[in-house]
Amino acid sequence: MLNKKIQKRIKRHKKIRSRLSGTAETPRISVFKSNKGLYVQVIDDIKAETLLSLRTKDDSKDKKVEQAAKLGKELGKKMSDKSIKKAVFDRGGNKYVGRIKALAEGIREGGVKF
């Protein structure tokens, strides 16, 4: 039996995923948050294919929020290089605060809109 916090996150994620889907023009940015780091994928749901994937570095001395912001900027830059200007943000059922918010703002700074 999962604890209430995890159950609520799963419920939010199912609700979010019922409304979001990525295409080749506007892929889905999927986020997985663990205690150690963030894992981000850019997904085309129609072809069921991952276009890009990044994660935070383990050897970094920065705080987790700063790592998330750097990851977002790097992802935004790589997406812009692949001529992806627009995307859909799937926060994985996590609340839009802290690392998730820093990641999203970093992606926007990198030149991707959502």
Question: Which of 24, 58, 21 has the alpha carbon at shortest distance from 39?
Answer: 58
pLDDT per position as a tens digit, 90-113: 999 999 999 999 999 999 999 999
Within a domain: residue 114? no
Structure tokens at 54: 């990044």
State the total domains in the chain: 1
DSSP 4-70: HHHHHHHHHHHHHHHH----SSS-EEEEEE-SS-EEEEEEETTTTEEEEEEE--TT--S-HHHHHHH
**Quick one: pLDDT at residue 6?**
92
Within a domain: residue 63? yes
The CATH number linked to 70 is: 3.30.420.100
pLDDT per position as a tens digit, 32-70: 999 889 999 999 999 999 999 999 988 888 899 999 999
Its domain, for residue 16, covers: 4-109
Question: Which of 105, 86, 92, 107 has the alpha carbon at shortest distance from 24?
Answer: 86
Within a domain: residue 34? yes
Within a domain: residue 12? yes
**Quick one: pLDDT at residue 70?**
95
